[in-house]
Amino acid sequence: MIPAAELTDPTVRSLVAAINDGDRAAFLGLLTPDAVLTDDGSQRDLEDWIDREIFTVNGHLDVESQSADGRSLVAAYRNDTWGQMRTSWSFTVVDGKVSLLATGQA
């Protein structure tokens, strides 16, 4: 596993830390105002999804690997609803903020 503090991209590093710390405000602060989230290829309502899948159910990412630029991750993701699953996460970062977060099963 790769500790969040050792992730290559600083924005992705902060976003993963916000997820693992349960810090919704920090998470939202790392997004562009028009940020888009997709789950298994389908666009979702971002705030509804993060509340249901992350912040009300103790979501946690254990990163297994990252791309060279640090903007694509494979991780063991767990929450109180679904248990643990192997997931992929991809981020488009613009000026230090995430404009697209794409996740799904790996």
Q: What integer is the mean pLDDT of 26-52?
A: 97
How far is Cα 89 from Cα 6, in angstroms, rounded to an integer?
A: 16
Q: Report the domain count for the chain.
A: 1
What range does the domain containing 12 cover? Answer: 4-105
Summarised one tens digit per residue, pLDDT across range 72-98 is: 999 999 999 999 999 999 999 999 999
**pTM attached to this predicted model:** 0.96
Summarised one tens digit per residue, pLDDT across range 49-65 is: 999 999 999 999 999 99
- The CATH code of the domain that includes 38 is 3.10.450.50
